[in-house]
Structure formats: C-alpha cells, structure tokens
Amino acid sequence: MDVFVVEHPLARARLTTMRDARTDSAAFRSALHELTLMLVYEATREAQVRTEKVHTPVAMATGYRLANPPLLVPVLRAGLGMADQAHLLIPEAQMGFVGLARNEETLRPTPYLESLPESLEGRAVLVLDPMLATGGSMEHTIRLLADRGATDITAVCALAAPEGVEHLRRSGLPLRVVTASIDQRLNDSGYIVPGLGDAGDRQYGPA
C-alpha cells in the first residue's frame, strides 16, 4: 500500500492552523478547506486523461480532460468539511456518502448511512476523511467500496496515525493513502497525538 505525505509548506501551514487549539471553528473549517484542495490535487496527480483538440483564439491546441472522474466519498460527519472543496477541484465528479459514528467505548465504527452507486467497477474513488486514527472506519468504508468492485481507491486524510496506516496495510485492501502528516501515535482514547482533537467537533461543535 502506497502512502504519500504531502509536505508542501502551504499544506504544513494549514495543518498547523488546524492543530492549534486556539483556532476557532470558522478558521478551522477554512484551513481544512484549503488543505483539502492541496491533498486532492496531489491525490489526482496520476489521474488518467484523454486528449481532445480545442481551438484557442489563436490556433488549434491539444487539450486534456479527466478520462475517469473519481467518485468522491466523504465519510460523515468530519469528512463533510472536505466534500465541497474536492468537488470544486473536480466538478465532473459524482459523490457518494458513508456515515459512521465511532463507539467511544469499543472505538469501532457504527454505520448509519450508506449511499453509493451499485457498481464501482472501473471507477476511481477518493474517500475523504480528515482523520485516519485506528483505521477501523476507513477499513469499513474501503470494504464497502471494494465489495462494489472498486480497485482504484485513495484515502485522502489531513492526518494519519501510524497504527491506522498499519491497520490498512495489514487489511490487504486495494488502496493508497494521501495525507499531510503521519503523527506520533494514538492515545488510549483513540485520539491522534499530537493530532488536532476531534475533527468533527472542531468543525461543527460537540456532537
């Protein structure tokens, strides 16, 4: 499983704003929006294109269009804050939704929404979730996608924990991870350290 860490200075600066406990919800959401643009930009670097001829006001030119626009899948609730920006960059994309709540005792994902196309064969998929912590929610989501035939799946995350990356690696599922940082570890409550706290609460207030 490939893991790509976006170490661009602008990405680091936005992530720092998100980490800072003094950042209020509005500024946190803005920083996540801006970081999402950078992560999705990198995540689609290898996207297949088809060529087409276009007339500029001056001459004929070879143009490029996405050959296989990805399905965007925000994982609710925290992934909602990445959905619009990913769509802004890829307006041709369709969007599916997965809703998972985390059981705070077992730390296991509890599904409450699954709105995805029946077949994903031949479709690229970008899963949007700011936090890759234990990897349980991401594994659950990737399995839903793989069961529908997806084989080209990218998890786009602001932050990842080494435990979550390892969990996904061991799952053997067909995916790669694009993130702005792999942090130190998970704490006993399943939070990423140093992390940024609860990404849902930081965007929308406590649930």
203, 29 contact by CB (below 8 A): yes
Q: Which 82-111 residues touch ligand URA, going by CB under 6 A?
A: none
Q: Among the candidate windows 47-55, 57-65, 170-178, 194-202, which touches ligand URA by CB under 6 A? A: 194-202
Q: Any binding-site annotation on 126? A: no
The one among 4, 41, 97, 191 contacting ligand URA by CB under 6 A: 191
d(CA 207, CA 203): 11
Report the largest interatomic distance among the alpha carbons of the chain, rounded to a whole angstrom.
64
Nearer to ligand URA, 69 or 190 (CB): 190
Q: Any binding-site annotation on 197? A: yes
User: How many other CB atoms are there within 10 angstroms of residue 202's CB atom?
Assistant: 24
Q: What is the DSSP string of 98-133?
A: EEEEE-TTT--EEEEEEE--S--TT-EEEEE-SEES
Angle at 29 (CA atoms; ends 26, 32), nearest 5 degrees: 150
82, 36 contact by CB (below 8 A): yes
d(CA 44, CA 46): 5
Q: Which 121-180 residues touch ligand URA, going by CB under 6 A?
A: 131, 133
Nearer to ligand URA, 116 or 131 (CB): 131
Give me the least distance between CB of 191 and ligand URA, in Å please: 4
Give me the least distance between CB of 107 and ligand URA, in Å please: 9
Q: Among the candidate windows 25-33, 110-118, 146-154, 197-205, which touches ligand URA by CB under 6 A? A: 197-205
Residues of the binding site for uracil: 192, 197-199
Q: Which residues bind ligand URA (CB under 6 A)?
A: 78, 131, 133, 190-192, 195, 198-200
